[in-house]
Amino acid sequence: MSSKKSPKRGERRGKPARRAPLSRERVLQAAVRLADEEGLAALSMRRLAQALGVEAMSLYNHVTSKEDVLDNMVDLVIGEIEAPTVGGDWKAAMRRRAVSAHEVLLRHRWAPQLVVATLNIGPAMRRYVDATIGCLTAAGFSYPLADRAWNAIDSHIYGFTLQQLNFPLEPEQYAGAAQQFLHLIPPEQYPHMHAMSRLVIEGKHDGLQDFTFGLDLLLDGLERLLDRAKTAV
């Protein structure tokens, strides 16, 4: 007599594993993965349904439209950024916030343009902004000054990130490009550009943009502004 047990119901050999049930969170996370892997232009409701292994119409039980998907993809990305703490060293907290935002947006290359072009009031964005304002006002910034401060920092974050993502050269190509275009900037006409290019060509300057350089200038300037405001009171 064979000692092998008969398989239980639902455990038949070759039966595919049960797929996780579709949910709003699963749809949005799949959309983020798809945009990360294939770019935002590849994202459509049909393509998203294919990635999830479902029919396109079933998505509408969980999201209302592609615009709903895009808005909430942005909110998921914002939720990955380290929000500043309220109290303590405000400069250190805002610096961590900015560096974290820059790193998160570089991971999701499609996101910066959407962040600056959409009015996002999702829960992650509300927590992020409220924590930012709280950090600054707890440090002594007035509400109007805190508003200007965090918008100035965010302009640096988004502007620098977009420029870095869209710059046509990789860092290892800088020296070669400088050499290639050196004849267009003769020292008699463009002495300063020529001198800078020479430094890059000779390896004495890497020519790389530095996110934290501008960030620290902003934070130092805001600190001086805060000190003046406190003195004037």
pLDDT tens, residue by residue, 183-230? 999 999 999 999 999 999 999 998 888 999 999 999 999 999 999 988
Instruction: Kindly indicate the confidence band of residue 10, based on its pLDDT and cuts at 50, 70 and 90.
Output: very low
Contact 207, 181 (CB under 8 A): no
For position 174, what pLDDT does the model report?
Answer: 87
pLDDT > 60? residue 11? no
Q: Give 232's contacts (C-beta < 8 A, 6+ positions apart).
A: none
- 208 closest CA partner among 177, 176, 174, 180: 174
Question: What is the C-alpha separation between 52 and 94, in angstroms, rounded?
Answer: 38
Q: Which tokens hold the place of 224?
A: 């001086």
Instruction: Kindly indicate the confidence band of residue 26, based on its pLDDT and cuts at 50, 70 and 90.
Output: very high
Mean pLDDT of 41-60: 92
For residue 40, what is the DSSP state? G
For position 220, what pLDDT does the model report?
Answer: 97
Region of residue 210 (phi > 0: left; psi between -120 and 50: alpha; otherwise: beta): beta
What is the Cα 203 distance to its own chain's centre? 31
Mean pLDDT of 51-56: 91
**Cβ of 45: how many Cβ atoms within 10 Å?**
17
Q: Which residue do the tokens 């965010």 mark?
A: 154
Mean pLDDT of 122-147: 96
Q: Give 51's contacts (C-beta < 8 A, 6+ positions apart).
A: 30, 33, 34
Q: Percent helix, strand and coil across the chain, each rounded to 5?
A: 65, 0, 35
How wide is the angle at C-alpha 149 spanned by C-alphas 147 and 153, nearest 5°?
120
Question: What is the C-alpha separation between 220 and 95, in angstroms, rounded?
Answer: 11
The CA-atom distances, in angstroms, between 195 and each of 130, 157, 171, 207 are 47, 29, 19, 12
pLDDT > 60? residue 6? no
Contact 27, 69 (CB under 8 A): yes
Question: What is the C-alpha separation between 189 and 196, in angstroms, rounded?
Answer: 14
This prediction has a pTM of 0.84
Region of residue 159 (phi > 0: left; psi between -120 and 50: alpha; otherwise: beta): alpha
pLDDT > 80? residue 166? yes
Mean pLDDT of 79-107: 96
For position 93, what pLDDT does the model report?
Answer: 97
